[in-house]
Chain A
Amino acid sequence: MTDLQELYTAVLEGDAPSAKSLVQTALDGGADPQELLAKYMIPAMDEVGRLFEANEYFVPELLIAARAMKGALELIRPKLVAAGAKSAGKVAIGTVRGDLHDIGKNLVAAMLEGGGFDIIDLGVDVSPEKFVEAAREKGADVIAMSALLTTTMPGMKTTVDAIDQAGLKGKVKVMIGGAPVTQRFADEIGADGFSDNASGAVRIARQLLA
């Protein structure tokens, strides 16, 4: 039996090849996928978030840990699904109309994926209609929008309004972020959640679906 503490360390240190091979070996040896996730992988990501918020980890460390987590999760997920386990939720994510800056959006998507969410990546320059469609037809539980420019921030309000008009208010949660975006703006436009960093975004998404 592999020392599973190594799995925790591999995720924490962003070592995707080791994380994957450790999970594969453990699964082959009959380990319980739910246990791998709950006892080693999720605690590792929680620690990553803690280190990030304590300024001991920075964005690159966050990203490679999320990548290792994602790699390991891909091996585990089919078994979890077969056992009837549900994902943490489905998040449709994109930059708002007119905004092509997707580094922050990709970061949040990677962290959410590492946090066990299913991601529908709508890409950049996403129209309100496309966000609505993701909620209505693809079953997104959360719409996550980002904007890097104050020029494009009004697109967030337009999208929130479109979601309301589609009769989805309350059925789908909306979270927003991006350099110029604030909690105050989120409150003003009626978004359900806001985070100014990718690690916090995972916590917000969990809270919204709790």
Chain B
Amino acid sequence: MRLKLIACEVLFRELCQALADTPHTVDVQFAPKGLHDIGAPGMLARMQQMVDAVDEAQYDAVMLGYALCNNGIAGLTARGIPLVVPRAHDCITLFLGSKEKYHDFFHANPGVYFHTAGWIERGTDAGELQQLSVSHQMGMDSQYKDLVEKYGEDNAKYLFDMLCNTTRNYSGIAYIAMGLGSDSAFEEQSRRDAAARGWSFTRVEGDMRLFRDLLEGRWDEADFLVVPPGQSIAASHGSDVISITA
């Protein structure tokens, strides 16, 4: 098959490894991590633009290196060729290798923040997308001194506490090791980050299965949604995560 992959840059290393091994011919387009920060309607619009820009005569299907991503792909429509999407709430399912494993880990460890190589190296600064981000619009990325200048000391303290401490309820970092050569440096960085915050640190073994299944065309119904031409993706709010809507 000749396939097009549109993927989030957070998955860069894992996808590149799986791409090297796939029997199919794949063209790849990576998009910025910051798409996640601009709200679902903004992300959807940009995702649809990328899908619409695919030269469909060249490919058998378009694969997404994305999850539901807080509804950022809900409403995305397949045009002339199928769209293949992992059944996942977010990329942690992809890194852990199954949505069930993620579900169990998530509910057993509610205060854990996940780190991966891509998440760390692609940073927290959304670049040009930062201005459009929901956190920016809400003032969550404000500097304390700017708040003081705008609202006075008394209100600034209150606002900073209310809006800017986005991880106050977290208590640990889990680094997902994918078995890549780069793991140890990123794991070390996560460990230091956890220590600096006084959080616990856990190393979790990742699983390349879903990356490989996606790129090798094993689109099992349980793990992937294949959206036929003309139909769209919807959030299902069930264990299948996403479904098709006409």
Chain A interface residues (CB < 8 Å from chain B)? 14, 16-17, 58-60, 63-64, 67, 98-103, 106-107, 110, 124-125, 148-151, 153-154, 157, 179-180, 182, 185, 188
Which residue of the partner chain, among B134, B168, B169, contacts A179 with CB atoms under 8 Å? B134
When A103-B162, A150-B70 are in contact, do A14 and B89 touch as well, CB less than 8 Å?
Answer: no
B89 CB contacts on chain A under 8 angstroms:
149-151
* 19 A-B pairs in the complex with CB atoms less than 8 angstroms apart: A14-B155, A16-B154, A16-B155, A59-B163, A60-B142, A60-B159, A60-B163, A63-B159, A64-B158, A64-B159, A98-B106, A103-B163, A106-B162, A110-B162, A125-B110, A149-B70, A150-B237, A179-B134, A185-B237
Query: In the complex, given contacts A98-B110, A179-B39, what are 7 additional A-B residue pairs having Cβ atoms less than 8 angstroms apart?
Result: A59-B139, A60-B159, A64-B159, A100-B111, A100-B170, A125-B110, A179-B134
Verify B151–A157 contact, CB threshold 8 A. no
Closest A residue to B152 by CB, please name it. A15
Of all A-B residue pairs in the complex, the 6 with the closest CB atoms, nearest first, are: A100-B169, A59-B138, A151-B89, A60-B139, A64-B155, A180-B71
CB distance from A158 to the nearest CB of B (A): 11
Expressed in whole angstroms, the Cα–Cα distance for A130 and B71 within the complex equals 28
A58 CB contacts on chain B under 8 angstroms:
137-139
Counting CB contacts under 8 A, is B68 at the interface?
A: yes
Verify A150–B106 contact, CB threshold 8 A. no
Expressed in whole angstroms, the Cα–Cα distance for A148 and B163 within the complex equals 15
Verify A151–B237 contact, CB threshold 8 A. no
Counting CB contacts under 8 A, is B90 at the interface?
A: yes
Count A-B pairs with CB separation below 8 Å. 83
Counting CB contacts under 8 A, is B166 at the interface?
A: yes
Verify A153–B70 contact, CB threshold 8 A. no
A103 CB contacts on chain B under 8 angstroms:
138, 140, 162-163, 166
Verify A151–B169 contact, CB threshold 8 A. no
Task: Name the interface residues of B131-154: CB closer than 8 Å to any CB of A.
Answer: 134, 137-140, 142, 147, 150-151, 154
Expressed in whole angstroms, the Cα–Cα distance for A99 and B151 within the complex equals 30
Verify A14–B151 contact, CB threshold 8 A. yes
CB distance from A13 to the nearest CB of B (A): 10
Verify A153–B237 contact, CB threshold 8 A. yes
Counting CB contacts under 8 A, is B233 at the interface?
A: no
When A179-B70, A180-B40, A185-B237 are in contact, do A63 and B169 touch as well, CB less than 8 Å?
Answer: no
CB distance from B188 to the nearest CB of A (A): 26
Expressed in whole angstroms, the Cα–Cα distance for A55 and B169 within the complex equals 30
B71 CB contacts on chain A under 8 angstroms:
150, 180, 182
CB distance from B82 to the nearest CB of A (A): 23
A100 CB contacts on chain B under 8 angstroms:
110-111, 169-170
A125 CB contacts on chain B under 8 angstroms:
110, 169
Verify B154–A63 contact, CB threshold 8 A. no
Closest B residue to A60 by CB, please name it. B139
Verify A179–B90 contact, CB threshold 8 A. no
As a 0/1 sequence over residues 212 to 246 of chain B, the CB contacts with chain A under 8 angstroms (1 = contact) are 00000000000000000000000101100100000
For A16, A150, A179, A185, which residue has the most chain B Cβ atoms within 10 angstroms? A150
B68 CB contacts on chain A under 8 angstroms:
150
When A16-B154, A60-B151, A100-B111 are in contact, do A157 and B139 touch as well, CB less than 8 Å?
Answer: no
For B40, B90, B139, B237, which residue has the most chain A Cβ atoms within 10 angstroms? B237
B40 CB contacts on chain A under 8 angstroms:
179-180
Verify B162–A63 contact, CB threshold 8 A. yes
B169 CB contacts on chain A under 8 angstroms:
100-102, 124-125
Verify B154–A17 contact, CB threshold 8 A. yes
Verify A63–B158 contact, CB threshold 8 A. yes
B140 CB contacts on chain A under 8 angstroms:
103
CB distance from A162 to the nearest CB of B (A): 17
Expressed in whole angstroms, the Cα–Cα distance for A182 and B74 within the complex equals 12
A101 CB contacts on chain B under 8 angstroms:
166, 169
CB distance from A152 to the nearest CB of B (A): 9
Expressed in whole angstroms, the Cα–Cα distance for A151 and B114 within the complex equals 14
Closest A residue to B112 by CB, please name it. A100
A154 CB contacts on chain B under 8 angstroms:
237-238
